[in-house]
Structure 1
Amino acid sequence: MRTRARSLAAALALVSALLVAGCSAVPQPIVTRLPSDGAPAASATPSASASSSASGTPTTSARSSSTPSSSVEDADDCGGQARTITASDRTIVLTGQCPLVRIEGNAVAVDARGASVGAVSVAGDRIALTAEAIGDTTVDGNDASLEVSSVGALTIRGDRNAVTAPGGGGDVVVSGNDNTVTAAVSNVTVDGQRNRIG
């Protein structure tokens, strides 16, 4: 009986050894698992998100804040009506008859050389106006630059504004500091410091 038990134990030990040896000798298959449609896939490199608009033109979903938006140019024909410009960081080109132009935004460049401009009212900062002859003008703000051929009566209430009118101008009233008016003018009233008129 013992001989039989020993034979059976030896046979079992041999079968176990063969199974272990057989399992380790056979190469295992490599399984690659891809993420399902619901799971987000990780990307090793960042990429810009892009989509197509209704017209088929690709558009990006993000814009760099370092790109100056003042390169945007809008054309506007006054058509004999007063114009009020409230945009900021824009370039506006005015044409036609403009009896009154109000500029109330900030960092706006207005090119009115192709327009006939009457009165002008500037109520913002960093405004640049280029025009031929303009009528009575009021500047309420800072760091404006007006380059015109001539100006009517001029009132400046603010600091660091510059008006250049080689063709001359009417009466000038300045309340503020560090303003410059380069024009032959009639009467001058100044309340402020470091203003240069004439």
Structure 2
Amino acid sequence: MTNFFNLKIPEDEKKVLLHTCCAPCSCSIIARLITDGIEPTVYFYNPNIYPHEEYDRRKAEVIRYAQKMNIPFVDADYDSDPWFEHVKGHEEDPERGERCTLCFEMRLGKAAAYAAQNGFKVFTTSLGVSRWKDLAQVNRAGEKAAASFPGLIFWAQNWRIGGGQEQMDRISREENFYRQRYCGCLYSFRESLRRGFPEFSGDQPAL
């Protein structure tokens, strides 16, 4: 198993922009970065999340943990209309299909733009932490986003390995994070209802 604290950030940078989807998926990343002396700035841009109340709930948990860890939080605000337009025609795509690719590219493209405009040389994301996501698909979207900004690097770290999953579960329990049963968008929400997955919090594993 990879050493939990053996992180190698590109170019030996000391700060990174962390695109964050939710508190459970990002908490272990934040803890690992801080332990290794890397300064994360949390960037929350997730216009896919449905409904708005769900978005607010997830964002509040991220803010709570960022404040506890004394790290910056950037709120990119909620604007779902462009997201729905961006994935139009892919409403019936399966999980890990083209709709997810479009979604990742939109969200990480926005994160890359913010990173480039605010002096970050490296950015990464918590999107690949979920076992339901295709890590290679996430990384391709991140690398595509970075390619639009010369000198910007997408850090394609596998945050699941080296104790990452166990750390995520432990911190989530300790912090009593709200933990959702669907990835976020309207279409994954509908699928969760078909599968009979209610929302919940506490000790049960999230997506």
In the superposition, the TM-score normalised over structure 1's length comes to 0.21
Which has a greater percent of helix? 2
Structure with the larger RCO, 1 or 2 (CA within 8 Å, 6+ apart): 2
In the superposition, the TM-score normalised over structure 2's length comes to 0.20
Highest Rg: 1 or 2?
1
